[in-house]
Amino acid sequence: MKNNNLVHCCVLLMVITCFGMPLAAALAQTDYEKNLQIRLGYQDGEYTVTSQEIAFGKSPNLAILSGPVKGIITDNKGSELTVFYLPYPGIATGDLVISPSGTDFAPYTEHRASGELSIILPVSHDMQTLSLYDTRTGMLLVSLDVQPAFKTFCLDYPHDPDCTTREAARTTTRAAPDTQKILVLVFFVSIIAAGLIFYLTTRRKEKKELPAARQTVLIVDDSPDILDIVPYALTKEGYTCITASSGEECLTILAAQKPDVILLDVVMGPLDGWSTLRQIKKNPDTKTIPVLMLTANHLSAQEARQYHICIEDYIRKPFHEEDLSAAIKQILARKKVFRESLAMARVAGVDREKFCQLAALSTRVAADKKIISILEKPDEELLMAGTPDREIREVISELLQNTQSKELQMEELKREIRLAFTRKGFIPPSW
């Protein structure tokens, strides 16, 4: 009996040895699948990271072969680990619908200019950065370091295999170099520092000889005070200022150089501001330069009717420096937005003439609304001069009708441009 029991024990021990140890090893090496969850907020094409965390769970398949957004995961040496593609967020295409003309069919597209984008990625112990690019323009949309997510996760699960692997790699990287390596490093750092000092000194001399280009404002006024105060204020704002004391001098300057914007006084002699304005707008080389009229006089009904299509703004003296600076910034910002959007419109297949027409209509509507607001304010000087209130009301009515007509044209052009952008998967510009 004792021999039989001994045989049974030996057999049981062999079974445990053959099957129990691999099973125990398998259990010890069990590693739950983890994913990196990243949330991005987007607003009119701008992306910001709102949160990132690592959690246990199954990750989706990243083997997506098409899409306008390219994602790249890299390690701490900058080597690519994973590449994947995503569609633009906030764009969804539905069933076909009849276009407003009633003849064509077009896909119904929903678009949100703002919202939140969630990305779930499988975790790799050596992942360091995630970058998203626009494949059409090559523009970097967002880039983030995933270290914070790993730090938070590893505080809770310090014995997780990915955490221990990252800690081991970090410890190895921080190992102290030997003396010879330190000397070599100091030698190369000294050479680089000397080269950097030489480069910065040379660049400083070049900058003194070739100052950086800034936006230029031409100030035209026969008042010495205006020609002193306005350039001083605008120079502090970062503009380069040119001055002219008469309409004739203004035209002479424009024959040699083209400023970004013109501030033009009305009451001057012998060539007044309105006559100078006509000469500027008749010349093909200068007609596109925005002009702001400066005057102590109130805008008359006749002047508004005759010149409203030629000016960008009308500012009365005395004015605050902040108001003048804000008017210039608004005009230049509008030009910049349309100039930058034009490049994307070309890629989206938008007709250049239509896009430029939209820019011109937008400028006119903004200027006409400003003129309407000026005319709507009662002015004692005009009433004393005998200008009938009826004439002012007629001009206001004409400008309102023109503005409403232009706004309808703008909306139609915007619809066409938005449709062209969304067909290409682009985010339409915000006007």
pLDDT recorded at residue 295: 82
pLDDT of 348 strictly over 50: yes
Q: What is the mean pLDDT of residues 168-174?
A: 65
pLDDT recorded at residue 43: 79
Most confident stretch, 18-27, 307-316, 323-332: 323-332
pLDDT tens for residues 285-308? 898 898 988 888 777 778 877 777
- State both tokens at 179: 């003396």
Mean pLDDT, the chain, as a whole number? 76
Flag the least confident range among 15-19, 152-156, 255-259: 15-19
Half-sphere exposure of 162 (CA within 13 A, CB side): 26
pLDDT tens for residues 106-147? 444 445 667 788 888 888 888 889 888 888 777 888 888 988
Separation in Å, CA 292 to CA 229, 247, 269: 17, 14, 18
Report helix, strand or coil for 108.
strand
85 CB contacts (<8 Å, ≥6 apart)?
64, 65, 66, 67, 68, 69, 70, 71, 135
The more confident residue out of 205 and 390 is 390
8 Å CB contact between 372 and 340: no
Q: How many CB atoms lie within 10 A of CB 370?
A: 18
What is the strand order of the sheet 261-265 is part of? 240-244, 216-220, 261-265, 291-295, 313-316
CA distance 230 to 214: 17
pLDDT recorded at residue 13: 40
Exposure string (b/e) for 294-309, b if CB count within 10 Å is 16 or more?
Answer: bbeebbbbebbeebbe
Angle at 265 between CA 261 and CA 271, to 5 degrees: 110
Amino acid, res. 103 = T
Radius of gyration over alpha carbons of the chain, in Å? 34
CA distance 156 to 335: 53
The more confident residue out of 170 and 280 is 280
Q: How many CB atoms lie within 10 A of CB 149?
A: 20
pLDDT tens for residues 194-251? 777 766 666 655 544 434 458 899 999 998 988 999 999 999 888 999 999 999 999 9
Number of residues written out for the chain: 431
pLDDT recorded at residue 385: 52
Q: Name the DSSP class of 16.
A: I
8 Å CB contact between 34 and 56: yes
The more confident residue out of 314 and 405 is 405
CA distance 177 to 207: 41
